[in-house]
Amino acid sequence: MTKGILIAGTHSGVGKTTVSMGIMAALKHRQLRVQPYKVGPDYIDPSHHTAICGRSSRNLDTYMMGTEGVRQTVARTSADADIVVVEGVMGLFDGIDSTEIASSAHVAKTLDIPVILVINVHGMSRSAAAILKGYSEFDPEVRVAGVILNQVGSPRHAELVKNALPGNIPVIGTIPRRKEIEVPSRHLGLYMAHEKDYNTADMAAFIEENVDLDAVLELAEPCSVPEAEVIQKPGTDLRIGVAWDPAFCFYYQDMFDSFRNCGAEVVFFSPMAGDVPDVDGIYLGGGYPELYAEALENSETTRKLKGLAADGLPIYAECGGLLYLCGTYEVDDRTYKLADVVPANTRMTNRLKALGYTEARPLDKNFSSHNIKGHEFHYSFTECDRDARFAYEMIRGKGIQDGFDGLVEHNTLAGYMHSHPASFPVEKFVGKCREYRRR
């Protein structure tokens, strides 16, 4: 089994993403095959992992996927890797509500791999020992095997902290402050990988200089995963178009795999560029349509979607995709005319409207016989027409309106909820695409 390590932080903002990316780059620079993962539902960090490692980063989320889903994903995608590097989320023990579910600790326990804890020691010395003691002893099933001190002010500062720490957990890195290797952020998180020019050689050299990479490799232990399930793939007999450009870039690689496992070819296209490929269904993910609203308003794709939807082309849209399918989109006091597929209008606000995990009960059992789990994160507000029909009743989360989500129009389904193929009825969507092709 491939060895793995999980890099966690004491809390958000301690630098675990920068440290994780740097370690991935340094290991890749050593010619190792690094399989990256990200704990939680995040889309942005995995885009950086993928760019650095040259392998698709996968999300590991014990809420959306369950523990067996996490194990199977690692088993399926890491067999040919030299090492697994998992980037944590928030603080090590922060899960859904007050539980461990969906936390970095839960994933570490699920895979039975050790944790390297990143502590931001800016403004402290001996207090770091109390932090490490608490984190290392809070849950005996979570093995904090090493520590990386981040934001170290000077060599003397590093020594003061190291001398105060207990000797049973090695300090394997002391990282000085260096702003230029950090990834800038905005309203939905960090900038995406395609918006950053990577100097991975410089990143790798910086980590090699400040982190004992040999110690990282020695601390890694085999991931406790079963043999990967053998999936009998049918022959490819249809095409699903996936919107992929700066406006639509929030996707799980596992969703694409699920489409292919159901016999679909995945065809990427750019709504901003105006090209609509010959496909049997369309998937519009989340992203940043508010930043490219003018280009989308003037796009040939935008003009064509309403007719395609009316013709019965299956379309599935999430968050940014929902906004794109609305009639109008108000951004910074300007109103843009968009695809007008679903009976709603939307506007961007400067306040967070929803953030967190979701669970939805399908109102039509023909669509799904089980609840769908996902997450929502948006700043927009969507107003629906009186005759709007919804696909889900929200058990957890806000949805679009009055606890409902998933606008339904023709064969189009568009909602705020980002879903994962672990519970989303991929087979039903692909089946609708197949029916459309055979008409």
Query: What mean pLDDT do residues 324-340 have?
Result: 97
330 vs 178: CA distance, rounded Å = 39
Query: What mean pLDDT do residues 190-206 have?
Result: 69
Query: What mean pLDDT do residues 183-198 have?
Result: 51
pLDDT at 434 exceeding the cut of 80: yes
Q: What pTM, to 2 d.p., does this model score?
A: 0.93
53 vs 48: CA distance, rounded Å = 9
Predicted pLDDT of residue 286: 97
Predicted pLDDT of residue 1: 80
- Inter-helix orientation angle 16-29/44-53, to 10°: 20
Query: What mean pLDDT do residues 149-156 have?
Result: 95
Query: What mean pLDDT do residues 406-411 have?
Result: 97
340 vs 13: CA distance, rounded Å = 39
Handedness of CA 118, 124, 126, 130 (dihedral sign): negative
Beta strands in 62-143 (DSSP E): 83-91, 115-120
Strand partners, 100: none
250 vs 48: CA distance, rounded Å = 13
pLDDT at 340 exceeding the cut of 90: yes
Bridge-based pairing of strands 83-91 and 34-39 is parallel
Let me know: does 283 contact 430? Beta carbons within 8 Å: no
Predicted pLDDT of residue 439: 79
Predicted pLDDT of residue 399: 97
For 421, the token pair is 């193929």
pLDDT at 159 exceeding the cut of 50: yes
The percentage of residues in the chain with a pLDDT greater than 90, rounded to a whole number, is 89
Interval 276-292: pLDDT, tens: 999 999 999 999 999 99
Q: How confident is the model at residue 191 (pLDDT cuts 50, 70, 90)?
A: low
| Domains, the chain | 3-222 (3.40.50.300), 238-438 (3.40.50.880)
Let me know: does 196 contact 182? Beta carbons within 8 Å: no
Predicted pLDDT of residue 370: 95
Please report, as a single letter, which amino acid is at residue 60: L
Let me know: does 9 contact 92? Beta carbons within 8 Å: yes
Interval 98-142: pLDDT, tens: 999 999 999 999 999 999 999 999 999 999 999 999 999 999 999
pLDDT at 195 exceeding the cut of 80: no
Residues labelled catalytic? 319
The percentage of residues in the chain with a pLDDT greater than 70, rounded to a whole number, is 95
Let me know: does 171 contact 149? Beta carbons within 8 Å: yes
Where helices occur in 211-274 by DSSP H, the ranges are 213-219, 253-261
Task: Name the average pLDDT for the chain.
Answer: 94
Query: What mean pLDDT do residues 217-246 have?
Result: 92
Radius of gyration of the chain (CA): 23
Q: How confident is the model at residue 186 (pLDDT cuts 50, 70, 90)?
A: very low
Query: What mean pLDDT do residues 59-68 have?
Result: 98
Predicted pLDDT of residue 365: 86
pLDDT at 373 exceeding the cut of 50: yes
Strand partners, 147: 117, 171
